[in-house]
Structure 1
Amino acid sequence: MSADGASVPPPVSVSAMASSGPGATAQASARAASLRAHPANRRPAAPVGHVRPAPQRRVAPALIPVPRSEEEAARQWAAQDHRHVRPARRAAAVAVVRDGPQGPELLLRHRPGQTPLGVVGLPGGSLTDQDAEACTWYGPSPRAWARRLGMADLRSARQHVVAAVRELFEETGLLLVGEREGDVVMDPATPLWEEARTSLESEGFGLPAQLQRRGLGLRTDLLRPVGRWISPDFRHRRFDAVVFAAAVPAGQQATVRPATGRSEEVAGLHAWVPAASLIEGPVALPGPPGWLGESGVVEACEVTAPPTLMLAHRLAEAGSAVAFLLGLADGAADRPLPCWRMAPAGEDAGRLWMRPTTD
C-alpha cells in the first residue's frame, strides 16, 4: 500500500509485456496510463505557471567502494599467491518498488550479522530443494522462465522463481499467489497465513506444498527478472543470486516478524527508502533503535550489497516505479539477462574500490 493507504495495483504480466505486435503495445500503453493515474502513483499538481524540471538522469556507478568492515579481508585475499574463491550459493532476491513523495522507492529490511545481501538490503536468500517441487503456475511457465534466465535446467529455473516468491513472503509478508489467472491473495496477514509463514521459516512444508494444500498457484507474471549478481571473490559467504522486481499486490502490506517473538522488535526493521537518497549521501536506513549511532544516518555502501545500489541507480534513472517495471518487461524475452560481477579496481582516496562488470 502507499503511504496514504491506497493499494498499489499489480504490475503488468511478464507474458503480456513480452508479446509482440501492435495489440500488445497498445495494451501496455493503456496499462501504463492506468498505473500512472492510480492514487499511489499520482504526483501532486504543480502550481499555476510552474514547470516541472525533467527527471535527473543518474548513470549507474562506475565504481563502488568496498565496505570498510570488509577492507581488511579484501586486502588479505588480494595479497595471497593462491587465491581460493569460495563457492557461491544459489539464491534469489526481490526488489519491491513503489512511487513515493520523493520519487521511486525500494523496500529494504535489516538483517542481523553479515549476509551476502547486506545488513540492509533486498528480501532474499538461498534456494532450497523444496523450491523445486511442483505446484500450479500462473503466468510464464518454468520453460519460459528458463529461457529468460538463460538456464538450460528447468529445475533450477523453477527453484529461483519459487525461492523469490517464498523469500519475499517470509521476509515481508507479501505473497504473489492466487486462485486463478489475474487473482491474488488479498490479505496474507491472517493467522492461517502467519502459521504458513512460520512453517516456511522453520523449514517445515515448502511453499509449493503449502500452495497445493490451499488450491493456490504462483503468480509468476508479477515478477520481473532484473539480473544475476555474484558476490565478490574475497567474501567468505557468497551468493550467486537472480534478482527480480515486483510491486506490492493490491490489498497487501509489507510486515516484518520479530526474530525473538518480541513484537517491539518489528518497528523499524523494514522501510521504504527513496532510490535517490540511497545514492546521494548519508541516509537513514531501517534497523533496531540506535544502530546508526547519534547521527542516525550512514553511507548506504557501508551496509548494503552492490545490487541494492545498482538497482537504486536504475530506479532513480527510470523516474518512477511504473517506468522501471515497464522497462524491465519491454523486450524481456529477447534480451539476455545481465550478470553482474564485482572486479577489483584498486585503491584511491583511502578506499578500496570495486568495478561492476557484466557478462
Structure 2
Amino acid sequence: METYLTFRPGGSPLGNVAFPGGSHEASDRDTYQWFGPSLSQWSKRMDVLDQQLVQAHIVCAIRELFEETGILLAGTDEQSIIEMADPEEWMSAREAIAGQDLSFDEFLRRRGLGLRTDLLRPVAHWLNPNFALRRFDTWYFAATVPNRQEASLLRGKGKWGRWQVASQVLAQRNTSELGDLVGQPNTVGLNLSRISYPAVEMMLEAMADANGVVAYLSRSRSLDLKHPDLLVRDGIYYLEVLGSMSAESSRPWQATAGH
C-alpha cells in the first residue's frame, strides 16, 4: 500500500515530511455543491457538533489536496469524477487558488463541479504537544486517487513529493534513507522520527498492517483525540502518544526527540 508524502518547508511543527495539508481559510465555510454524506452525517462520524467547522475541515482537506498534488475530489454528480484534461490549465488554477487569487468555490462553480466528499475517510484526530509554540488541532483523512488523475508538485512551491510504500518506509525507519531521499538540509542524515510527526508514523504503521487499500479505508476507527506528551527517562527525551490507541495503532508508540 502506497501513500503520498511531501516535504513541508518552514520547520512545520507537524513534521518536515508529512502528508499534503494545510490550514482553514474563510472560504472553506462558503456554500459548496455537496455530494456524499450530509454535514449532519459527517458531524456524527467525526463527533463534532459544529457543522460549519466540520465543513471547514472537509473542504480544507479537499482544497489542500488539490493545491499541493493536483488530485481533485470533485464531479458533476454523485457518480462522476473530474478528469485532468489539460495539465497546464490545472496547474495555473492550483497556483491561483494557492495564491488566493481565485477562491476554491469559484473554481468549482465555473466548471459545474461539486465536492465528492464520499471519497474521503477520516482516519485520525491529533493535537500537537502543549510545549509547542503553536498548537494545531488536526484532522487526517484518507482518499483513493481517482482514475486518470496523477499527483504532481505545485509549481514554484513544492520541494519534494513522492509515492512511498508504507511498509518500506517503516522497514528503514531507523536509517536516514527517507531523509536522504528528500534531500533537504533539515532531513538529510535524520531518521524517520526526526523528520516526521508521530501521527505520520502511526498511520504508516496502520497502512503497512492493512490487507490492502480497501481494507484500510473501510476499517472501523475510534477518532478520539490523541496528542504526544514529553517524557524524560535516563536523561533522554521521548514523545509518548496519549489518548485512544485503537484508532490507528494497537500498541504504545514512542519516538526519541533528542538529547
TM-score, normalised to structure 1, is 0.62
Q: Report deviation, 1:292.
A: 5.0
Looking at structure 1, the residues matched to 183 and 154 of structure 2 have their Cα atoms a distance apart, in angstroms, of 13
Aligned pair 1:108/2:5, yes or no?
A: yes
- Tell me the distance in 2 between the aligned counterparts of 1:290 and 1:228: 29
Displacement over 6 Å in runs of 4+: none
CA offset digits 1:293-322 (Å, max 9, x no partner): 5xxx63111011111001011111113222
CA contact (8 A) 2:91 2:154 kept: no
How many equivalent residue pairs? Answer: 240
Q: 1:302 to 1:313 in 2, by over 3 A?
A: same
**In structure 2, do the counterparts of structure 1 residues 181 and 312 end up closer, same or farther at CA, with 3 Å as the change threshold?**
same
Equivalent residue for 2:229, pick from 343, 350, 358: 343
Task: Return the offset for 1:152.
Answer: 1.0
- Aligned to 2:59, what secondary structure does the other structure show? helix
- The residue number in structure 2 matching 1:287 is 182
Contact 1:162 1:207 in 2 (8 A): no
TM-superposition CA deviations, 1:313-345 (whole Å, max 9, x none): 111111322221121xx5xxxx65221111223
In angstroms, what is the RMSD of aligned CA positions? 2.1
Q: Comparing both chains, which one has the higher relative contact order based on Cα–Cα distances under 8 Å and sequence gaps of 6 or more?
A: 1
Give the stretch that moved more between structures: 195-204 or 168-177.
195-204
1:188 positional shift: 6.3
TM-score by length of 2: 0.85
Structure 2 partner of 1:34 = none
Gaps of 5+ in 2: 245-259
1:344 and 1:354 in contact (8 A); partners too = yes
Give how far 1:291 is off. Answer: 6.6
Alpha-carbon shift at residue 141 of structure 1 (Å): 1.3
User: Percent identity of the aligned residues?
Assistant: 34
Return 308-317 or 251-260, whichever deviates more: 251-260
TM superposition shift of 1:272: 1.7
The answer to whether the aligner puts 1:354 opposite 2:248 as a matched pair is no
Match of 1:200 in 2: 97
State the match for 1:130 in structure 2.
27
Is 1:171 aligned to residue 68 of structure 2? yes
- Indicate the structure (1 or 2) with the bigger Cα radius of gyration: 1
Post-superposition offset of 1:288: 4.3
Range with greater deviation from structure 2 (208-217 or 157-166): 208-217
Q: Secondary structure at the match of 1:126?
A: coil
